[in-house]
A = this chain, B = another copy of it.
């Protein structure tokens, strides 16, 4: 998710604004109203230009689903609010983006607000959806056109027994919620793949980018968690309202199970991400150890050698028999080379006893497993 997008999510009115004040969120699209009316045998889809066109349709169909794409007009929203008797506070929440998912029961409807998630090419995109459920209508507000409800529309259009279910508005609301939650799963699996990738990288060649990537993953998981966590309560609150039929409760319980399953996956991924930082840091440390060993071995071998060579480079006046008689020995050079060889051997024995020589190369073989 791009930084700009993330910031926009917490959009709040100026402090002290009167409750129930509607405000067009920045960069909103003009609302596009569609209505699907149906009875057990028939179904028709309409596209309304203004709110007044909806009235006759409401009377014609026993159950309707009105969908509004785009929050760009407060007139449309308050007109719909008046038509369906919606509470001002609920309408205010529709236009304030970044709501925490919740379900609230009002006198003649239930208000649900939640966050959809879409995987776009440029990253994750969160979209707020508000759902009003009345006895014979479902009214949804989305930020933009394009949603995850096409399979729901298809099932709705399929006549016969399945349509019977949809005659109760709560079942329609359930299918919408189910579609919203189901969209989280492929995205969660995407995170699993990303973590696999980082994990492979951290083991084979740990680079600094690993930490940044892991931090990014953790942030996005944290954001998804903020969306998913309150959904459990949202569904349980919705389920306990009088607008939900007893025989539809198992469906909502199933829906709630899905949320818990998604949170389970999330938690696993968060633990894995945290573990990655440990692995990275220990890889870095092990790497540093290896570098230091090479340096120490080289320095420890060559410093005595260089010293011996320097020693016999001294210019003492060799007319005195006490001054560097080695220089005049027949095999003085070989003797000095022998000294050096001895020093190397002594060092190698020391290193082998410390177990340093073997370990230098071992770790790389190990990590291939």
**Chain A residues proximal to chain B, CB less than 8 Å:** 3, 7, 10, 12-19, 87, 89, 93, 98-100, 102, 104, 106, 148-152, 155, 162, 175, 178-179, 182-183, 185-186, 188-189, 192, 196, 203, 205, 207-209, 211-212, 215, 218-219, 222-223, 226, 250-251, 253-254, 257, 260-261, 264-265, 268, 271-272, 275, 277-289, 291-296, 298-300, 302-307, 309-318, 320, 322-324, 326-334, 336, 355-356, 359, 362-363, 366-367, 369
Least distance between A157 CB and chain B CB atoms (Å): 12
Pick the contact of A289: B16, B251, B284, B334 (CB < 8 A).
B284
List residues of chain B with CB within 8 A of the CB of A226: 264, 268
A181: nearest chain-B partner, CB-CB: B15
Contact across chains for A315 and B317 when beta carbons are under 8 A apart: no
> Are A295 and B294 also in contact (CB < 8 A) when A149-B16, A316-B327 are?
no
Contact across chains for A291 and B294 when beta carbons are under 8 A apart: no
Pick the contact of A328: B10, B281, B302, B317 (CB < 8 A).
B317
Pick the contact of A219: B150, B272, B294 (CB < 8 A).
B272
> Are A300 and B295 also in contact (CB < 8 A) when A102-B257, A277-B282, A310-B313 are?
yes
Least distance between A230 CB and chain B CB atoms (Å): 8
- Residue of A16, A257, A287 ringed by the most chain B CB atoms within 10 A: A16
Contact across chains for A189 and B10 when beta carbons are under 8 A apart: yes
Pick the contact of A299: B285, B303, B356 (CB < 8 A).
B303
> Are A260 and B100 also in contact (CB < 8 A) when A309-B314, A362-B207 are?
yes
List residues of chain B with CB within 8 A of the CB of A288: 285, 288-289, 292
Contact across chains for A150 and B307 when beta carbons are under 8 A apart: no
- Residue of A10, A14, A15, A329 ringed by the most chain B CB atoms within 10 A: A15
> Are A185 and B10 also in contact (CB < 8 A) when A261-B100, A300-B294, A327-B315 are?
yes
A100: nearest chain-B partner, CB-CB: B261
Pick the contact of A295: B13, B148, B268, B292 (CB < 8 A).
B292
17 intermolecular pairs with C-beta atoms under 8 Å apart? A10-B189, A15-B186, A16-B150, A16-B152, A89-B250, A102-B257, A104-B250, A205-B359, A209-B367, A215-B278, A226-B264, A285-B288, A289-B291, A294-B296, A296-B298, A299-B299, A316-B332
List residues of chain B with CB within 8 A of the CB of A211: 278-279, 282-283
Roughly how many angstroms separate A16 CA and B151 CA in the complex, as a whole number? 5
List residues of chain B with CB within 8 A of the CB of A294: 296, 300
List residues of chain B with CB within 8 A of the CB of A328: 317, 320
